[in-house]
Amino acid sequence: MTQRLARYCRQVTVKLYQEGFVLLDSQDEEAKLLPNSQRYWLRELVLLGDDCPCLYERTVIPEETLTGPERELINLGSVPLGKYLFSGNNLTRDYINLGIQNSCWVRRSLLRLSVKPLLLTELFCQIHLSIQNNREINRLEGQTTLKLNKWRVYFRLMRIDKPIGILLLLWPTYWALWLASRGLPDLFILLIFTAGVFLMRAAGCVINDFADRKFDGYVVRTKERPFPNGDVTKKEAKTLFFLLIVIAFILVLTLNKIAIWLSVIGLLLAWIYPFIKRFSHFPQILLGAAFGWSIPMVYAAVSEYLHLECWLLFLVNIIWSIVYDTQYAMVDLNDDIKIGVKSTAIIFAGFDKLIIGILQLAMVLVLFYIGQLLDLGGFYFVSLILVLGLFTYQQKLIANRQPILCFKAFMNNNYVGLVLFIGILLNYF
């Protein structure tokens, strides 16, 4: 089909919707047509001729097929499948079935590469064909909007429409600023770190979606993100990430040398975190380090010395990150298990609520010790009591592990950060 389209079109392009390993039920129609396998490689795309959708293509490949040269099938990216299949002489076809669906021609082929099977389903598009839903018609055919507003896509990619992530980074930064400066933060440093938090959180979201682009389409909560929807390309995401990092680093250059060197470590943490989910059940620890790296940077910028309370506050942020990100992971627990993403919510299993409770108590105890160490006043310790109350409320929310309530518990952590900041702020009045 790629060659045939090339005869009549000036340009043939591929719009990739999703690709990655999935689980298929044994009763699934496609699973019945293929040898039994623990996992299948799924690839869905649309072939466009001169930007007009011509063919919807869905390929399902048993994992056992992906050995030897056929392993390259998972690295095709935007390369049409036909270019790979017909590049050698080891392709055979068991059968090809034709049919009609929604007034469109459909064909399904069971192909073999060196006797290893793969199932290819192709749907030939009409001008007003609904490939997945009406929203995708607008995106593919441009009947309602000729082009996506790229700025809106980039804002979504940076999660500007979801400020909770900014706040969860901002509160620990403000704790550190007020404690390190003993209640009198320099306005310039305050503005630099506020802007830096915004930029680094945006960059973190971009690189996270880039890392998860092959998985987000299979998770209910994330399937509408820009990558699963095909609204953004890998090149665009990498360019945006680079620009955000450069701007953030320019801001850091206005600080002292210690803060500048520490920022390099912060960048590495932000880069590594999204990918660690493939290998470790404890990505939340690295998340806490990445989210809290502004704390030692603040102390370096304010006093050029990393005091004991700096590292204790850093520890508090790591504990807190494990708490709220485990609550966040509980929302996607079933989807994460299916697609093989690791998290503390999975490894904690039936002990998740207990471990979260222990970590919440540990966080308050470390904060109490910081208050004793710095001789903080009554407002600070009252804020710790209120934080305990908020943690108790979160335990009630996650009691039955209902996804919507687990997400509500996660969102409630904004108030934890706010209450603690107010306690620190009032301490210096």
Q: What size, in residues, is the chain?
A: 429
Query: Above 80 in pLDDT, residue 375?
Result: yes
For residue 51, what is the DSSP state? T
Cut 0.95: pTM above it? no
Domain count, the chain: 2
CATH code, 331 = 1.10.357.140
Q: pLDDT digits over 127-176, tens only?
A: 334 334 434 434 443 433 434 467 788 888 898 888 898 999 999 999 99
CATH code, 103 = 3.40.1410.10
Buried residues in 291-324 as b, exposed as e (16+ CB within 10 A) = bbbbbbbbbbbbeeebeebbebbbbbbbbbbbbb
C-alpha angle 394-197-360 in degrees, rounded to nearest 5: 25
Tell which wins on pLDDT, 176 or 109.
176
Residues 108 and 183 reside in one and the same domain: no
Residues 48 and 190 reside in one and the same domain: no
Lowest-confidence pick of 91-100, 114-123, 221-230, 346-355: 221-230
Last residue within a domain, chosen from 147, 167, 200: 147
For 86, phi then psi, to 5°, come to -100, 15
Lowest-confidence pick of 43-57, 287-301, 354-368: 43-57
Residues 143 and 215 reside in one and the same domain: no
Q: pLDDT digits over 205-227, tens only?
A: 898 888 878 777 766 667 778 88
pLDDT bin (cut points 50, 70, 90) of residue 24 is confident
Residues 177 and 275 reside in one and the same domain: yes
Residues 116 and 201 reside in one and the same domain: no
Structure tokens at 194: 């506020």
Residues 61 and 173 reside in one and the same domain: no
The pLDDT mean for the chain works out to 83
Distance CA 207, CA 355 (A): 29
What does the pLDDT average to over 294-322? 94
Residues 182 and 220 reside in one and the same domain: yes
Helix (H, G, I), strand (E, B) or coil at 49: strand
Distance CA 396, CA 29 (A): 42
What does the pLDDT average to over 321-330? 90
**Domain limits at 34?**
2-147
Residues 165 and 33 reside in one and the same domain: no
Residues 56 and 195 reside in one and the same domain: no
* pLDDT at residue 143 in the model: 38
Residues 78 and 160 reside in one and the same domain: no
What does the pLDDT average to over 380-387? 97
Please check whether residue 189 is in contact with residue 173, taking contact to mean a CB–CB distance below 8 angstroms. no
Residues 143 and 156 reside in one and the same domain: no
Residues 170 and 133 reside in one and the same domain: no
* pLDDT at residue 246 in the model: 94
Query: Above 90 in pLDDT, residue 65?
Result: no
Structure tokens at 154: 């980039």
pLDDT bin (cut points 50, 70, 90) of residue 197 is very high
DSSP run (H or E) holding 22: strand 12-22
